[in-house]
């Protein structure tokens, strides 16, 4: 029964579902299904990591991270069901993640070990996924709201990219808001998660904090770079994406 306290923590999700229902959010089912999905995924991850963390080959480790990127691209696709979203998400997530990992390996912040590369890679992949979905949601919403203005600019001779310039900037700012707020609060309002994990594991506090700083910088870069890549790859298809959403609704 040592796992009973962890199982009881599911009460927090049940309370969240009740609050969502009370406020009329209409996403109670999504919260419930997502909570079960994350529990299943993480329990499976616990078993799989026993084998993944024994990997010694760098290509094998990168292959695992590539698999994470592929699954993340599918999650992005679930939000906007268009084939281009899956491909563009995969390119944005993979290119950003592997750039960061390669850079940190070259400057010896990370060591080529499964215990470092796989968790860190997963952290970057997840962060980039959150950022690109935030930016794409905001982008499509703004394009939908300003479609007449965008079409007028194009009719007057502007390129589609120029006509969407304000929408681009607003979308990128949106993707950065959680990262900037996180940096502002780190150390004053809360101790970031990775540092907490290292401290619980008995790591030197100074090293844990320095490593967390690197992670925060990497998260900001991955969020912005991934969103820029995603929007540049997606903006030409944005009108089709909006039309597809309208048909499904």
- Residue 32, SS3 per DSSP: helix
Provide the residue range defining the domain that includes 8: 1-52
Please work out, in degrees rounded to the nearest 5, the angle formed at the alpha carbon of residue 223 by the alpha carbons of 42 and 197: 40
210 and 157 housed in the same domain: yes
Kindly report, residue by residue over 173-182, the tens digit of the pLDDT: 988 888 888 7
pTM: 0.78
Same domain for 84 and 202? yes
The pLDDT tens digits for 135-165 are 998 998 898 888 888 889 888 888 888 888 9
Tally of domains within the chain = 2
Specify whether 10 is located in the same domain as 85. Answer: no
Shared domain for 109 and 229, answered yes or no, is yes
CA 102 to chain centre: 19
- What are the pLDDT digits (tens) for 106-126? 998 888 888 889 888 988 999
3-state secondary structure of 186: strand
**Considering only CA atoms, which of 218, 217, 192 is closest in space to residue 205?**
192
DSSP-derived secondary structure letter, 158 = -
**Is the sign of the CA dihedral 91, 102, 121, 130 positive or negative?**
negative
The answer to whether 92 touches 233, Cβ cutoff 8 Å, is: yes
State the angle between helix axes of 205-234 and 165-185 in degrees (0 to 180), rounded to the nearest 10. Answer: 170
């Amino acid at each position: 029964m040592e796992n009973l306290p962890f199982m009881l923590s599911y009460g927090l999700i049940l309370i969240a579902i009740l609050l969502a229902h009370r406020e009329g959010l209409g996403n109670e089912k999504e919260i419930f299904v997502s909570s079960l999905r994350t529990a299943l995924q993480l329990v499976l991850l616990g078993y799989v990591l026993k084998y993944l963390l024994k990997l010694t080959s760098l290509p094998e480790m990168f292959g695992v991270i590539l698999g994470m990127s592929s699954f993340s691209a599918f999650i992005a696709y679930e939000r906007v069901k268009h084939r281009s979203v899956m491909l563009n998400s995969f390119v944005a997530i993979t290119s950003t993640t592997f750039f960061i990992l390669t850079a940190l390996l070259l400057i010896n912040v990370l060591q080529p070990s499964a215990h470092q590369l796989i968790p860190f890679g997963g952290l970057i992949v997840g962060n980039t996924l959150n950022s690109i979905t935030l930016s794409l949601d905001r982008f499509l919403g703004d394009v939908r709201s300003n479609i007449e203005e965008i079409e007028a600019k194009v009719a007057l001779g502007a390129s589609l990219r120029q006509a969407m310039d304000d929408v681009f900037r607003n979308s990128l700012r949106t993707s950065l808001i959680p990262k900037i707020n996180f940096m502002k609060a780190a150390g004053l309002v809360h101790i970031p998660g990775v540092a907490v994990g290292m401290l619980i594991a008995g790591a030197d506090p100074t090293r844990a904090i320095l490593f967390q700083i690197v992670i925060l910088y990497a998260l900001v870069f991955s969020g912005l770079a991934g969103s820029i890549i995603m929007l540049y790859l997606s903006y030409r298809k944005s009108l089709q994406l909006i039309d597809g959403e309208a048909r499904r609704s």
